[in-house]
Structure 1
């Protein structure tokens, strides 16, 4: 109880007001929300790959919070806003959340001009500049180096569903920073083609930058005749097909998505002989 309280205080001691100024539906159950901060400079506090937390206190005995990732560019943050993509968990639509989400239905019902409380930045992985990425290691990996500063030559990114947000944020900023020597491969899984989030932005990035490549994956039986991506679930074989080898010290992997996918990634890269200091989860 004590640690939970301390974590709560840490997350929300420095809250900021954020006004909803735009909401665009990008899939049947997902939106891009634009929040404009009351202090324009506060938006610059969120480097690529970092998170912010949204706080909702519906009554005196409850408090709900969830982390989200800004997906807009560092340059656009200078205008004082952050964009994020959020999946809405409505009642009776997802077997994992039969009663719906505790926070996302509240967010879906927000109207333009409504003000919420956010905190952060919360950082485990962040892009700095000139191709350097700072990593604070997760507890799931044996920790000898609490922090690392890396500059990959090959960066393999894996995302599932809304896990695309921090992954896309890192890839986008590397490309915009003109780090053409960093080869980026994104393996991105969703249930169906219509569930693919940020597809337009991802495709634009691939068209503009030769060092960025994306491979889309959807569930078996969900593909149309025109589908030219992978079918099934991301597994060790698919990782071997598209990912880098474990032998090059400049190859790194980052992933974000559902718990089952994250667990599979840890097991797969261990089985493939990767140095545990070369693969990370957001």
Structure 2
């Protein structure tokens, strides 16, 4: 592992909008950079005469030749505006890796719950289980967004499903467009969480309200707090 808070200079390789105001960014990977899926880095965003840290989780694997992030651009946001205008090849400093939101080494089944760009670290964790660890335990993902325009990386989830017969995922929209023709599940993730509840280790990532509600619901249904890991975006 890299020394915590070690500073690296990386440059932008690719930038692609994958959903409404959601961008996939790939940066060069320093030779000395190693991390565990689920961890994050702090980008040092230039602002006036100082550099302001902003944290983003990695969605790539240590074996990938690049560092990948999935970022929701917010109008007026310091990092959002910087990345929005950032040109391919431009350098930026970052620190890390940081964080303890990683998959436990155990023999439990895995249940991941993500909303929005909370899918970023979770995708890396799932990829690691399937592609690197060759995990033979069931892996389930419940992914929620507001509407059709907010969906992204479904093609990646389909590819992972084809690779691993024990992986399955469910997508739900909390506010689908009336004329959008959405045929999948509707409602918040809490409305569908209990359908596949069993003896599992849970990993939650998304906004604070979702994490709180899902954690409360799991505890109410007998899940031990030590089996619930979470990261708030």
Quick check: TM above 0.5? yes
- Aligned match for 1:86, one of 67, 71, 76: 71
Displacement, 1:207?
2.0
Could you say what secondary structure the match of 1:157 adopts? Answer: strand
For 1:72 and 1:63, locate their aligned partners in 2 and report how far apart those are by CA, in whole Å.
25
The structure with the larger Rg is 1
Conserved in 1, the CA contact under 8 Å of 2:202 and 2:227?
Answer: yes
For 1:57 and 1:180, locate their aligned partners in 2 and report how far apart those are by CA, in whole Å.
41
TM-score, length-normalised on structure 2? 0.90
Query: Structure 1 residues 272 and 192 mapped into 2: Cα distance closer, same or farther (>3 Å)?
Result: same
**Residue 200 (structure 1) aligned with residue 155 (structure 2):** yes
If asked which structure has higher relative contact order (CA below 8 Å, sep 6+), I would say 2
For 2:70 and 2:21, locate their aligned partners in 1 and report how far apart those are by CA, in whole Å.
11
Displacement, 1:178?
5.4
Partner of 2:53: 65
> Cα deviation per residue 1:241-264 (whole Å; 9 max; x = unaligned)?
1332xxx4xx21010001110111
TM-score, length-normalised on structure 1? 0.75
| Runs (5+) with no aligned partner, structure 1 | 1-9, 91-99, 128-132, 134-149
- Aligned match for 1:25, one of 17, 23, 26: 17
Partner of 2:27: 35
Partner of 1:240: 194
For 2:137 and 2:71, locate their aligned partners in 1 and report how far apart those are by CA, in whole Å.
29
For 1:224 and 1:120, locate their aligned partners in 2 and report how far apart those are by CA, in whole Å.
44
Partner of 1:74: 62
Conserved in 1, the CA contact under 8 Å of 2:39 and 2:99?
Answer: yes
